[in-house]
Amino acid sequence: MYTSFIILSIVLFVNNNLSVWAKEQFNEDLTLRSLSDGKLLAHFNFTTHVDVINPVPGASLHHYGLFPKVIGQVLQEYQVREMHLTFTQGRWKYDEWGYPPEQSTGTGVELWAWMENSTRVDNQWKSLTNTLSGLFCASLNFIDETITTEPTLSFQSSSSSSFEKNNNILLRYGSLPHESVCTENLTPWIKLLPCKAKSGIAELLNAHKIYNSNFHSMSIHAKSICANDDCTRRIMELKQTETSVLDPVRETSRRDWSLKEVFDRVLHGACPVADNSRVHIIQDDSNAKLSPELNNPLKGYDLKEVHDELDIRMTWSENSFHYPLEPAYPIISANRYFTGYGQERGGLEITIHNRNDKALPVIYYDSIPWYLKLYLHTLQVIVIDEKTGQQQLKEKGDIIRDMYYQPAIDRSRPTMLECQLLLPAKSIVTLSLDFDKVFLKYTEHRPDANRGFDIGSAVLTAQLPNENHTIRVYTDTLLVSLPTPDFSMPYNVITLTCTVIALFFGSVFNLLTRSFQIIKEEKEVK
């Protein structure tokens, strides 16, 4: 008995010293805000934070508690330092709702990752997209080299270790604007949470209600970064957010909302493993009445103190809602669209509004697929003063300070255009480019060929005055119709073309190889 006790204590002692020591923390948060046009913005935020102390730098984490093992293994296997995956459906109206709580609002799926610099980066990126595709039941495996780009100025890493940021990590970005989001994507996302959908704030995630909204966006941000320069302390963080813009006015023509009406569920308490579990209400309008009453509006409702049911309700004493006439224009907003007509060529224009009093530097990033051949020499910049509407005469070099351009290679890589722009104060800047449309092969068209092809959002990265973090503004996705052949014709085309060729070949062959003979005329027999 003593020997077994001694052996057990030795084993535990050895285990403790060899393994990494991790401290885990899970916070969940819900922010509800009534927007100026009567819609309700619901922002769910689930953060798992793990502090790993490695006696051996670079050792892998073996024990996963609250941090999901799948994500940890993905980060480890493919040498990913930072990964951001967002599923979005709908349009975020910057002009009416301001800036979103989560930056990525481009329709479809967006994936970008900072990965360790090695010769196998592209293979690891491909494996990463395939693994995430299986994990989230989405067709992310379509993010291949014809869609992937490497932005140089945008999408900066938030790693605190300067050594890693400068030398060791490479960025890969890909987006699928045509990808649709459905409950098959939400279910594995919920499975990554420690409490799943059984308790805590995640109880409210009712797919029928969340997806019945004007805008919804679900994202995963995973990080595994070194906290100090020799990497003996590592921080792993998983942040899952879900943003929905729901419309109570559509159902009842009143903007009153309650958790039961909006989500068809109520809160029953906090997730037992959560350190913090709060519901924040941002009240812009003092006319609204909130029940149950909040003692401290900044701290919101603490779900750890809720034991049976919590149904939050906000009501107004008006009969019906009147839409506001003045939109709340944000400081930077952008609008991108196609110009031109016909299916041979066209133009791409982006209009950026700067409503700030001072000039603002902005980074414009755009990735155009290879089947639109952009002509960079046709890039034009037009600046219009916001107040007077007059065109200002500015040199192209005054606005475009720096440009990174990667031309497309057919069927191999997209065009990437990244510009550092200096937007003048209170101005509207328009960049325009011309392009030719490519005639695709029969099999390269989609099954619904006449719908056209989706072009992913352009991203504007800016540092707003009075804010300490950069914001990203996403433009709408665009739809371009490329010229289509007649899809019922392969056999006919082959036959007709080969007929003409055979006619020529046969006739010339006959003429060259045979010799003439006079036809003998028959004499009439009298």
Partner 1 sequence: MIITDRPSMAMIWIALAGYLGLYPAMLVVPLILMQPSSKSFGMITTFALSIVGLLGISRWLVGSWDFIAATYGVILFLSDLTPNTGMFWYFFIEIFDQFRSFFMVVFQFHAFIFVAPLCIKLRHQPLFVITVLCGIMSVFKSYPAVGDAALFLGLLPLHDELFEYFRYGFLITNIYLYSSVLAPIFWHLWLYAGSGNANFFYAITLVYNLGSVLLLIDMIFSVLRRDYDIENPNAIGKHVVQK
- Per CB under 8 A, residues contacting partner 1 are 341-344, 410, 438-443, 483-486, 489-490, 493-494, 496-497, 500-501, 503-505, 507-519, 521
Collapsed DSSP state (helix, strand, coil) of residue 14:
helix
d(CA 55, CA 233): 8
Residue 353 CB, nearest approach to partner 1 (Å): 33
Q: Rank residues 519 and 525 by Cβ distance to partner 1 and give the closer one.
A: 519
Residue 178 CB, nearest approach to partner 1 (Å): 23
Q: Rank residues 298 and 519 by Cβ distance to partner 1 and give the closer one.
A: 519
Q: Rank residues 7 and 498 by Cβ distance to partner 1 and give the closer one.
A: 498
Residue 152 CB, nearest approach to partner 1 (Å): 24
DSSP 8-state secondary structure symbol assigned to residue 414 = -
Q: Rank residues 134 and 490 by Cβ distance to partner 1 and give the closer one.
A: 490
Q: Rank residues 295 and 513 by Cβ distance to partner 1 and give the closer one.
A: 513
- Torsional sign, CA 39, 269, 87, 329: positive
Residue 492 CB, nearest approach to partner 1 (Å): 9
Residue 469 CB, nearest approach to partner 1 (Å): 44
For residues 132 and 172, is the Cβ–Cβ distance under 8 A? Answer: no
**How far, in Å, are 269, 370, 445, 453, 483 from residue 449 at the CA level?**
50, 17, 6, 8, 9
For residues 236 and 224, is the Cβ–Cβ distance under 8 A? Answer: yes
CA 204 to chain centre: 24
Q: Rank residues 376 and 493 by Cβ distance to partner 1 and give the closer one.
A: 493
- Torsional sign, CA 5, 9, 15, 18: negative
Residue 344 CB, nearest approach to partner 1 (Å): 5
Residue 481 CB, nearest approach to partner 1 (Å): 9
d(CA 145, CA 336): 25
Collapsed DSSP state (helix, strand, coil) of residue 124:
helix
SS3 readout for 295-356: CCCCCCEEHHHCCCCECCEEECCCCCCCCCCCCCCCCEEEEEEEECCCCCEEEEEEEEEECC
Residue 341 CB, nearest approach to partner 1 (Å): 7
CB burial of residue 379 (10 Å; 0-12, 13-18, 19+) = middle
Q: Rank residues 294 and 482 by Cβ distance to partner 1 and give the closer one.
A: 482
Q: Rank residues 174 and 414 by Cβ distance to partner 1 and give the closer one.
A: 414
